[in-house]
Amino acid sequence: MVIGQPFLMPSNNKIIQHNELSIHSFVNGFSFCTQSKIDFLPLNNDPEEFKKAFEEYIDYYPKNTLSAISLIHFEHPSAFVPKALFNEKFLERYLSYYKLDKGDQSFGYDIMSESDQVNVYSYSTKIKSLLETAENSFQETHYNTILSRTILNLTSNAKDQIQLFVHLQKDCMDLFLTKGNTIDFHNRFSTLSEDEFLYYVFFVVEQFDLESNVFEIVFLGKIDFFNSFYDAIKLYHENIRFHREIIISKQATENHNAPFLAQYFS
């Protein structure tokens, strides 16, 4: 498999189409997403055994039967860099805020022309080597690129409205604070309980001195798995909305760490 160069994604995300495969890479394994099903392949301690299982899954699809393959990185948070200040030589420096295993890191970036920013991210060199052994070619991106474009599309007519977008994953969440059609802040936080979830939401609210009556909390997706988080925030904030109350299948929830993005291909 040949890793594609950083590429300019379309402005509008789309649902996975027929004969498309989207491979979503997490620290604990891969979710293989097609229009009909989602499978999860966990990493194990035997690299050769895992490599064999991975290649068997890819080889299940005869060559040239897939119209497109994408790799979406979920392993680590990313950093947005203003396009005017971006220098490809400093990818590791842009991510210095995060603790990285310097001996096992490759770096990538997505150019986002609509916001004049570059999204810089890291992933395992071992994963890159594994993917390069397969025959199918693919393009890669980071999930924050998809989220930020989704959010900017949603805020395109928001004028001066302040919104806090919440994207829940099984062990963490992403927060995007917007004013009008500008993302003022974003970060990923570990959230293993409702208390941690509430702590980080209101940490951001306090840091930006937001009055409860002037901002809206928008959840990306409404997923049964996260009902306890929705119920928790409703005790403290009334202005809440769900974007895309789509039905997320039980299979997607079980086999994908970020169910809202399980059905997206970009």
Domain hosting residue 110, numbered range:
14-149+252-265
Distance of CA 146 to the CA centre of its chain: 7
- Is residue 9, in this structure, part of any structural domain at all? no
- Is residue 1, in this structure, part of any structural domain at all? no
Tens digit of pLDDT per residue, the chain (266 long)? 333 333 333 334 456 667 778 889 998 888 988 877 888 988 876 777 777 877 787 777 777 777 777 889 999 999 999 999 999 999 999 998 887 666 678 899 999 988 899 999 998 877 777 766 666 667 889 999 999 999 998 887 777 789 999 999 999 999 999 998 899 999 999 999 999 999 999 999 999 999 988 999 999 988 889 999 999 999 999 999 998 666 677 777 889 999 999 876 53
Number of H helices, E strands in the chain: 7, 15
101 and 211 together in one domain? no
Instruction: Give the phi and the psi of residue 142 in degrees, each rounded to 5.
Output: -110, 145
Number of structural domains found in the chain? 2
Element (H, E) at 197: helix 194-207
130 and 23 together in one domain? yes
Residue type, 248: I
Contact 61, 20 (CB under 8 A): no
Q: What is the pLDDT of residue 236?
A: 93
140 and 53 together in one domain? yes
114 and 164 together in one domain? no
258 and 127 together in one domain? yes
Q: What is the CATH number of the domain that holds 137?
A: 3.30.420.250
How far is the C-alpha of 153 from the C-alpha of 150, rounded, in Å?
5
Q: What is the pLDDT of residue 6?
A: 35
Q: What is the CATH number of the domain that holds 171?
A: 3.30.420.260
How far is the C-alpha of 217 from the C-alpha of 241, rounded, in Å?
6
89 and 195 together in one domain? no
Q: What is the pLDDT of residue 12?
A: 44
Q: What is the pLDDT of residue 122?
A: 92
Tokens 């974003």 identify what position? 186
- Is residue 6, in this structure, part of any structural domain at all? no
How far is the C-alpha of 17 from the C-alpha of 35, rounded, in Å?
6
Residue 151, CA distances (Å) to 22, 31, 54, 179, 259 in order: 21, 23, 33, 11, 17
